[in-house]
């Protein structure tokens, strides 16, 4: 069911500082910031030869990453995103196998304009999983 790793997402308290560190210190290609109000984050994409890293900063009053940053004030790995070819059949398979899908269970459009779902981290060893249909 799982395909490639689409991205790893890192929550950061200061997106400009994190972008500069990835661009200048690590020597990576970093996109311009993109606000995603419906997801409560501002994101930049770090483009790597084999995948992407997304740096996420809270956007708005009730950002889903605000609590994470309260617990991890200097930032930290927030989720990993795997590609799937059919997100609805993946969701149904997961639910049949006892996994919890966050939200109302319906895919939302993610940062890349594709449908995404998130899976409960307690079902997957403490790691928040995003599935993206490609």
Which residues of this chain interact with Co ion, rule CB under 5 A? 9, 81, 130
CB 94 within 8 A of CB 102: no
Residue closer to Co ion, measured from CB, 81 or 94 = 81
Residue 60 main-chain phi, psi, to 5 deg: 90, 175
Catalytic site includes residue 130: yes
Q: How far is the CB of 38 from Co ion (least distance, A)?
A: 13
CB 56 within 8 A of CB 45: no
CB 15 within 8 A of CB 53: no
Residue closer to Co ion, measured from CB, 9 or 69 = 9
Residue closer to Co ion, measured from CB, 27 or 113 = 113
- Let me know the angle formed at the C-alpha of 71 by 68 and 73, rounded to the nearest 5 degrees: 90
Q: How far is the CB of 104 from Co ion (least distance, A)?
A: 18
Q: How far is the CB of 69 from Co ion (least distance, A)?
A: 16
| Per annotation, catalytic residue among 54, 57, 130, 132 | 130
Catalytic annotation, residues: 130
């Amino acid at each position: 069911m799982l395909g490639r790793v689409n991205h790893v997402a890192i929550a950061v308290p200061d997106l400009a500082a994190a972008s500069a560190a990835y661009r200048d210190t690590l020597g990576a290609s970093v996109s311009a910031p993109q606000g995603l109000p419906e997801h409560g984050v501002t994101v930049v994409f770090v483009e790597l030869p084999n995948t992407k890293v997304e740096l996420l900063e809270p956007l708005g009053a009730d950002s889903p990453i605000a609590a994470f940053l309260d617990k991890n004030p200097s930032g930290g790995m927030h989720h990993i995103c795997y590609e799937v070819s059919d997100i609805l059949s993946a969701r149904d398979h997961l639910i049949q196998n006892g996994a919890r899908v966050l939200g109302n269970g319906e895919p939302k459009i993610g940062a890349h304009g594709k449908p995404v779902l998130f899976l409960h981290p307690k079902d997957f060893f403490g790691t928040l999983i995003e599935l993206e249909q490609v």
